[in-house]
Structure 1
Amino acid sequence: MGERGAKPKRAPLSRERVVAAALALADEKGAAGVTMRAIAGQLGVEAMSLYNHVAGREDILNGMVDAVFAEIDLPAADTDWKQAMRARATAARAVLRRHPWAVGLLDSRRRPGPATLRHHNAVLGALRAGGFSVALAAHAFSVIDSYLYGFVLQESSLPFSNRAELDEVAGEILSELPAEAYPHLAELIADHALRPDYQYADEFDFGLELILDALHPDLA
């Protein structure tokens, strides 16, 4: 039997634990809150001990970005390109809603990790298998992600996160809005945003379908 009152053994420090702690910090405080000192505090170690497992903050950011890409489901190889792009964009949005700080970092890494490379290769592979040339696959990838990242940024800045909050915010604005001065805004809130079946997420699906319908493989 162990000695009474003995402290439980701490899990050994590793690159994976450092990155996981950094992810948790970023989810709570944003990417700016990820410092060596803060990560060390999260893990209960001295900041200098982190350098036995990572090269520095940039290396940690590389690992964080790769961890985010690892959470995004890869496009299925045997799926129609449009269905694959729709599923992948939907999955990516769900992941980025959990990690909104990541939007500005995803394509910023000079040393992308294995999950990042697998993700990009799978997206391009689905487009190429669907008849897109190399150049058009690049264009399609870029325009889809520009829309995806922009929507997530807009969504994360909204003053509501659920239906109850939307009703409260929209109701307050409508009650204080001079309808005669802003008739179109009043109409939008009353006849669209406050409909019982309205969900802001539907705006994402509408825009994504516009983009996918506008893309056509070279061999179509």
Structure 2
Amino acid sequence: MSNQAGAPPRGRLNRDKVLRAAVGLADEAGIELLSMRRLAQHLGVVPMALYKHVANKDELLDGMVDLIIAETGPADSGGGWKAAVRQRILAARATLQRHPWARRVLETRTNKTPGVLAYMDSFIGIFLSHGFSEDLTHHVMHAIGSRMWGFTQELFEEPEGQDGGSGDGLDGDAQLALLAEMSTRYPNILRIATASAHDQGSVVGRGCDDQFEFEFALDLLLDGIEKLHAASWTSIPRVVLSGEAP
């Protein structure tokens, strides 16, 4: 079988080459169009050749996740835990921006791959190595949640491929009618969603700076964690710690 135009040279296949080709194909065409058959065509091989390196589509996706996680790299803890965590999270976010499909895969994969576990372990290690208790670290990880991977569910984010009520694609009269209806039914949402920080002259939430909002929330969270750590916070009631009767 000859290579398709734009496909990498066939050469000798190995697992790394298969995974990197899959990542490139997902970046180019989207994760929905990625299949073992299409990947084989991209590599210029028969589909059965792929199964020597990945057992099935699930293993392929797991390997792709590990590959992009490795792009994030280790955190530089020279500036303290707060700077290290911030740098790690923003590096993960930059990685997801290079691979837009990866967020959906991370959200849907239930299998904790070695790459995922190693990333989580090193992330937890930043806190523990800077004197955080296991108790506080446990709650911190819950609070950080998906932000650890560089994304969150944005409040004013439009559903992918949908209007989301934003008025996008409507003519001027229809947009005015939409705004009038929202001002009556949802006045508080409209007031916030069309504020200058979000609106920039467009309709309901368009123009919102996702990167700014992400870093704003991240810094709020890190500041709060810093205060808890400085106060030696614990979730264990003080009366239990002191041995007093409740």
SS at match of 1:103: helix
SS at match of 2:13: coil
Distance in 1 (CA, whole Å) between partners of 2:119 and 2:53 is 25
SS at match of 1:106: helix
Q: Is the 8 A contact 1:100 1:152 kept in 2?
A: no
2:21 alignment partner in structure 1:
21
- State the one-letter code of the partner of 1:217: H
- Shift in Å at residue 211 of structure 1? 1.6
Q: 1:183 to 1:157 in 2, by over 3 A?
A: closer
Distance in 2 (CA, whole Å) between partners of 1:170 and 1:149 is 35
Q: 1:34 to 1:213 in 2, by over 3 A?
A: same
Q: 1:68 to 1:82 in 2, by over 3 A?
A: same
After superposition, what is the alpha-carbon deviation per residue over 1:85-143, rounded to whole angstroms, capped at 9, x for unaligned? 11111111121223343234437464623x44442232122111222123432332232
- Shift in Å at residue 70 of structure 1? 0.7
Q: What number of residue pairs does the alignment pair up?
A: 207
Distance in 2 (CA, whole Å) between partners of 1:37 and 1:120 is 33
> Which range is displaced more, 169-178 or 26-35?
169-178
- Shift in Å at residue 156 of structure 1? 11
Q: 1:194 aligns with which of 194, 199, 204?
A: 199
**Superposed counterparts of 1:5-154, under 5 Å:** 10-106=10-106, 108=109, 110=111, 112-113=113-114, 115-147=115-147, 151-154=151-154
Distance in 2 (CA, whole Å) between partners of 1:37 and 1:45 is 9
1:210 alignment partner in structure 2:
220
- Shift in Å at residue 10 of structure 1? 3.3
SS at match of 2:106: coil
Q: Any unmatched runs of 5+ in structure 1?
A: 1-7, 161-165
Q: Is the 8 A contact 2:103 2:151 kept in 1?
A: no
SS at match of 2:101: helix
Distance in 1 (CA, whole Å) between partners of 2:99 and 2:66 is 12
Q: Is the 8 A contact 1:70 1:116 kept in 2?
A: no
- State the one-letter code of the partner of 1:208: L
Distance in 2 (CA, whole Å) between partners of 1:9 and 1:206 is 45
Q: Any unmatched runs of 5+ in structure 2?
A: 1-7, 161-165, 202-206, 233-246
Q: Is the 8 A contact 2:89 2:149 kept in 1?
A: no
- Shift in Å at residue 201 of structure 1? 2.0
- State the one-letter code of the partner of 1:204: F
Q: Is the 8 A contact 2:72 2:88 kept in 1?
A: yes
2:235 alignment partner in structure 1:
none
- Shift in Å at residue 212 of structure 1? 1.4
Q: 1:75 to 1:170 in 2, by over 3 A?
A: farther
- State the one-letter code of the partner of 2:229: P
Tell which has more relative contact order, 1 or 2 (C-alpha 8 A, sep 6+).
1
Q: Is the 8 A contact 2:81 2:126 kept in 1?
A: yes
Distance in 2 (CA, whole Å) between partners of 1:208 and 1:170 is 34
Q: Equivalent pairs: percent with the same residue?
A: 34
